[in-house]
Homo-oligomer: A and B are copies of this chain.
Amino acid sequence: MNRIVTLAQRPTGLVDQATTAVVEHAIPTCGPGEALIKVGMLSIDPTIRTWMNDAPGYLPPIQIGDVIRSSGAGVVVESQTDRYAVGDIVIGMTGWQDYVLATEENKFSVVPAGMGLDLATVMNVLGVTGLTAWFGMTDVGAISAGDVVVVSGAAGATGSAAGQIARARGASLVIGIAGGPEKCAQVVADYGFDYCLDYREPDLAKRIREVAPTGVDLYFDNVGGPVLDAVLSNIAMRGRIVLCGAIAQYNDPAAAAIYNHAMLIMRRASMTGFIILDYAARFLEAQMELAGLLLGGQLVHHEHIVDGLDNAPTALNLLFTGGNSGKTLVRVDGSVALS
């Protein structure tokens, strides 16, 4: 049977018992041009929470009764297409379920074998997470040598990669923002940021000013809300703010308010949003540099693996409660692995 985690009810805050349901269906039948994939691992991303809302977004909301949309990795167990061979490890939109069909509409990428990397690393650094950090920093943020860079969610998978990419591209100062002293210590010790500030500081704007007295040239924003406001008040002349996410408000629309947008005028600065899907045609370019950084030891990464498809909703909540560290993945089937 195929276990499918569906959206039972739209959540208002964190996901709870009533949000999802597990239903069992027959394993889908593989038709001509299709392949059947046994799901091995799910990528747990904050954006999944936005798809649960009935609100306009970059993709349509998940409908009630539908499988929770998610990227993930799996192994091809049956194929009626030349595109995939049985045994291939593939990455794409698996959804929260045991089996998924690769179709003309839902294509997967085959992970090259023999890379010497484990699947979790590939899903983190060479997957959507690392790609988001890379395109946000280089393309949207136009990082250049000498920049003073601030990254929020710095202990998270995307943020920790973003800061290390900034460092590799010659940032003069890399400042993280994270939740609590433990995570802040990790951001400096593990990921090599120069400083890390606790976003719960009573006067975060002042703390940023102390460590970045010349202002912030590039801010990679994962969170929105008061943290974005604190950086806005410290933005440098012609500073750039890259909007990657707004995690503070995904569960709490009231946390969306920002008050300091007029600093963009005073400092001739800009704020630009992006969605990683737009860059699909350029993924390889990013993966080359990311793999290079990995092999050169310049891209420290951690994965936080939660076991069991049933625990996917709990794993999603970790992104918002701060209970995770590094990239959150759900292991659905441990036998799916890179050789």
Binding site for B on A (CB under 8 A): 56-58, 224, 228, 243-246, 249, 253, 256-275, 278
Contact = CB atoms under 8 A, between A and B. Distances in A.
A228 B224 CA distance: 17
A261 B271 contact: yes
17 contacts: A57-B266, A58-B267, A224-B261, A243-B265, A256-B259, A256-B262, A257-B257, A258-B261, A265-B274, A266-B273, A266-B275, A268-B274, A269-B272, A269-B273, A270-B271, A270-B272, A271-B272
Nearest to A263: B273
Contacts of A256: 259-262
A272 B266 contact: no
A235 B251 CA distance: 23
A275 B265 contact: yes
A106 to B, nearest CB: 22
Contacts of A224: 261-262
B274 A262 contact: no
A265 B278 contact: no
A50 to B, nearest CB: 9
A148 B278 CA distance: 22
A231 to B, nearest CB: 13
Contact of A261 (B57, B261, B268, B278): B261
A275 B56 CA distance: 33
Contact of A267 (B245, B261, B262, B273): B273
Contact of A258 (B56, B258, B265): B258
Contacts of A269: 272-273
Most buried by B among A271, A275, A278: A271
Most buried by B among A259, A262, A271, A278: A262
B272 A243 contact: no
Contact of A246 (B249, B262, B273): B262
Nearest to A228: B261
A234 to B, nearest CB: 10
Contacts of A58: 265-267
Contacts of A264: 243, 271-273
Contacts of A275: 265-266, 268
